[in-house]
Amino acid sequence: MTAQQIQIKLFARARELAESDLISVAVSEGITVASLRLAIAEQYPQLKPLSSQLLIAVDNAYAGEDQTLNEKQEVACFPPVSGG
């Protein structure tokens, strides 16, 4: 399997912990959302305080854990929401 880089937009406390609004995670092709979580935890340990709370969105919708990802999709990662 070839490696690819997935760009991930970060928001709120995730953005502050990573000190960036965009991170790049090295993953193998066809990775699932569940595996992406593990890759994020490994490559960005500063996000650990949020770990299990982090939500993943793909192309502006909440992603299922089994969903597979590619470089063309817009991926975002953020804590539980608190608008209103």
Partner 1 sequence: MNPDFILITDKPIDYAAVTERVRSNECGAVVLFMGTVREMTAGRQTVALDYEAYPGMAQQMLQQLISEARAKWPVHAVAIEHRVGHLALGEISVAIAVSSPHRAQAFEAGRFLIDRLKEIVPIWKKENWSDGTSEWEHKEIKTN
Binding site for partner 1 (CB under 8 A): 9, 11-13, 15-16, 50, 53, 55, 57, 60-62, 74, 76, 78-84
Structure tokens at 47: 């996000």
Kindly state the smallest distance separating residue 40's Cβ from partner 1, in Å.
Answer: 17
55: β partners = 78
CA Rg value for the chain:
12
Kindly state the smallest distance separating residue 2's Cβ from partner 1, in Å.
Answer: 29
The residue among 2 and 60 lying less far from partner 1, judged by its C-beta, is: 60
Which residue, among 61, 77, 65, has the nearest Cα to 7 in the 3D structure? 77
